[in-house]
Structure 1
């Protein structure tokens, strides 16, 4: 009786303590140093320690009790095991797993885990729960997209994925930012970080030059006239600001003042050209700007000039649609190239195509007259002729023609205007002879092969080391854009941000949002 009472007391105490060795075993009434398994009644020497080894099937010790799984002990132990060790059927006797027991407490490498998944590994409870949690999270995200009217393609942004990862790392209880935090402190902080990134663009402006792009836009939502200003360089375009000119007289003098402020902010030494609209007030403003800033050029938008040419030609009754089509295909497609070394040659090719489309000169003379008139008053700038001369793809096959007065004269003017230092002008002029006669690296077989393969600026960067001053000048001239498409792209950003429900955005806050959109995306 005493022994039985001792066993009962020990078992009760063990059950309360939650110790598996005492919960699933009892003291042998004939030998208090031995424990008897509650599942198979097999005795184990060494008291509780040996009984625990028997229960979990430690290698080299007593074999695992095959009845353990039937009573749920295996499920209890799985919570502590990182890897999923699959037990054998209860009808099979012997050791459960050949894997050392200590290895169960170390996580596997990601590659091994993926291999296990491919091999049809059974999913754990944790994985099933994670899948359900993700489904619920995706449902809530989708509801927010639908409720706020967010475009579906916003889910492709890297910033969207970064946002979700940051929230997941915070864990439960994350408090979303308030409207005030989004409008003021967080926006201000993001703009400050973006301006730090713009410093890298400013270094590019100093080394390779830049273009200031300006174009007007009509905000139909609130009936405002807005002028956008961007800075373009080989590194990309940077939004500077937009100005509300609804209540300002947009005459040449007012536009000149705005352009001068942007030039001073960017740095006159860094600006090669200012690209604007072709309206008469902008044309006058461009001339005033060239007079006040003697070391840069004003250039009208090439695409707008071409549109005006086509409109003028279309108004001529004798010229049929074939002429308009020929000019559009041959000229406009060429103008879409990213650098400025192609406009002059494309214009020549377009005129030749027009002439070849008709048998008699009377049929195309009017069209050529219209093109020449538009070219001389707007596109016939020294920069275009200089870029044609410095483009190896066009210069070397047409060297004799390129050396004629109009083109070489434009090159001399451009060198003098963009390089105020006379000593630099002299060095560039002397080094230009090497380029014209294909001496040094310019005559290398690789350089000759790649004249029409590389872009003009890349070609000079690769093979112009023998003429450093000329190389720097050419890269500044050839790396620039010939249109204000960056401004046009911002129109879409403005329309997206300045909707009927958000038409009270302050101009400064609207500028900040556009700046973030152009830099981040």
Structure 2
């Protein structure tokens, strides 16, 4: 009996120990699983976050393909956005435009340039009446563009531009003729006029005139004779072989070239064009008269357009003063315009911006500037007379 009891007690002890070991093993397995899960979460947290933003410097900080800050921030589009933002700020803050002088300072504003619309013109006149030292004027480039527009609607010029446009359209609408011309040595593409820019019509005339030899060689070639049944071929041939057409093209190009150069100068951002506007308009009028051998019936239609736009829009004292104070033209005695209005405009600008003894000092300085006395006669000042020239208009 005692033996049976001992065996049962030993069996119960073995069962208890086995259950304890099994539970311990299960706890160990759970702990290892928890540790592995924590390790995986830590590793996943250390992974770098992927970004969809494209890096600005692809090749590093010395990447030459990246634009400079100056080229990115000083474009016409950016300047327009800045002007628009400032105007919207004035509008939102209910600040009248006539109070700009109080914010910027009357002495820090010499000229205000705006569009020629009626509201801008009225605002400019109000500012000039309130602040007598400020001068208002419209865009010079806009004025020149209107001159080109008025010239382009003259009967003889309008017919000429239409004929030139027909030749250009014919060449670029027929593959054979265009391929034949592109095989010519030194061939460049013909400039085609734009519908929104009046200056491009005259640039297209100049470009077409430079291709005169190639176009005439094309229409007299044996291959061209095989294409006479194609539409508008005969008309194109008559236009290209008409010497009066090319003569009128040359005259029109010579008349408008000075205006186009002045327009490029006024529309560029390389240097201020204020000191070159008066000289450019004066040279254009003189060039037109010389081209037509001073025959009034020939040059009057052109000079009347220039005078009308100049007198109504850009005949300001500030342009005359800037012309006389430009050393490029001041010391060119042969071509210097000696009209009385120029010196009167200089005195008018001096009296607008100065008073008292300053006017006398400035008048004396103008005499020294004219005669190259004092610092105006130093070698550096003399050398800079030609280095600042923008080219012949």
- Mark the runs of 5 or more structure 1 residues left unpaired by the alignment: 1-132, 147-152, 160-212, 218-226, 231-238, 247-253, 457-521
Indicate conservation of the 8 Å contact 1:228/1:243, yes or no: no
Partner of 1:393: 328
Higher strand share: 1
Report whether the alignment pairs 1:382 with 2:317. Answer: yes
In the TM superposition, residue 285 of structure 1 has moved relative to its aligned partner by 2.2
Q: Does structure 1 retain, via aligned residues, the 8 Å contact 2:90–2:96?
A: no
Q: Give the whole-Å Cα distance in 2 for the aligned partners of 1:426 and 1:399.
A: 29
Residue number in structure 1 paired with 2:116? 278
1:434 and 2:365 are equivalent in the alignment: no
Instruction: Note if contact 2:375-2:381 (Cα within 8 Å) is conserved in structure 1.
Output: yes
Structure 2: any 5+ residue segments left out of the alignment?
A: 1-46, 56-62, 70-75, 161-201, 203-251
Cα distance between partner residues in 1 of 2:96 and 2:291: 45
Q: CA deviation at 1:271?
A: 0.6
Q: In the TM superposition, what is the alpha-carbon distance from 1:266 to its structure 2 partner?
A: 0.7
Q: For residue 327 of structure 1, report the CA deviation from its aligned partner.
A: 4.2
Task: Supply the distance in 1 between the matched residues of 2:388 and 2:263 (Cα, whole angstroms).
Answer: 21
Task: Mark the CA change 1:242 to 1:452 in structure 2 (over 3 Å): closer, same or farther.
Answer: farther
Per-residue CA shift, 1:379-419, capped at 9, x if unaligned? Answer: 11101000000011101113895453110000000011122
Aligned residues: CA RMSD: 3.8
Is the 8 Å Cα contact of residues 350 and 359 (structure 2) preserved in structure 1? Answer: yes
Does structure 2 retain, via aligned residues, the 8 Å contact 1:351–1:368? Answer: yes
Contact 2:292 2:298 in 1 (8 A): yes
- State the partner residue of 1:4: none
Q: How far does the alpha carbon of each residue in 1:338-388 deviate from its partner, in whole angstroms, 9 at most, with x for none?
A: 222111111122223333443543222111111111111111110100000
The superposition leaves residues 83-135 of structure 1 with CA deviations (integer Å, 9 ceiling, x where unpaired) of xxxxxxxxxxxxxxxxxxxxxxxxxxxxxxxxxxxxxxxxxxxxxxxxxx9xx
- TM-score normalised to structure 2 length: 0.51
Q: 1:329 aligns with which of 260, 281, 286?
A: 260
CA distances 1:231-265 after superposition (whole Å, capped 9, x unpaired): xxxxxxxx74435979xxxxxxx9xx843222221
Q: Does 1:423 align with 2:357?
A: yes
CA distance in 2, matches of 1:342, 1:284: 26
Matched residue SS, 2:110: strand
Structure number with the higher helix fraction is 2
Once the two structures are superposed, the pairs formed by residues 212-361 of structure 1 within 5 Å of their partners are 229=83, 240-242=86-88, 258-319=96-157, 321=202, 322-323=252-253, 325-335=256-266, 336=268, 338-339=271-272, 340-359=274-293, 360-361=295-296
Query: Contact between 1:276 and 1:300, CA under 8 Å: does it hold in 2?
Result: yes
Taking the TM superposition and a 5 Å limit, the aligned residue runs for 1:78-227 are: 140=50, 143-145=52-54, 156=66
Contact 2:138/2:314 (CA < 8 Å) preserved in 1?
Answer: yes
8 Å CA contact 2:98–2:126 kept in 1: the answer is no
In 1, the alpha carbon distance for the partners of 2:82 and 2:115 equals 11
Q: Give yes or no for contact 1:309–1:371 (8 Å, CA) kept in 2.
A: yes
Quickly say closer, same or farther: Cα 1:156–1:400, change in 2 above 3 A: closer
Pick closer, same or farther for the CA change 1:397–1:145 going to 2, 3 Å.
same
**Counterparts in 2 of 1:36-75, with a 5 A limit?**
none
Query: How many residues matched?
Result: 231
Deviations 1:193-234 (A, max 9, x none): xxxxxxxxxxxxxxxxxxxx9xx98xxxxxxxxx9748xxxx
> Does the 8 Å CA contact 1:276/1:301 hold for their aligned counterparts?
yes
CA distance in 2, matches of 1:258, 1:455: 40
Secondary structure at the counterpart of residue 341 of structure 1:
helix
SS in structure 1 at match of 2:385: coil
Distance in structure 1 (CA, Å) of the matches to 2:155 and 2:66: 50
* Residue of structure 2 equivalent to 1:447: 381
- Give the TM-score, by structure 1 length: 0.39
Contact kept, 8 Å, 1:318 with 1:363, in 2: the verdict is no
Does the CA contact (< 8 Å) of 1:327 and 1:354 recur in 2? no
Q: Is the 8 A contact 1:331 1:349 kept in 2?
A: no
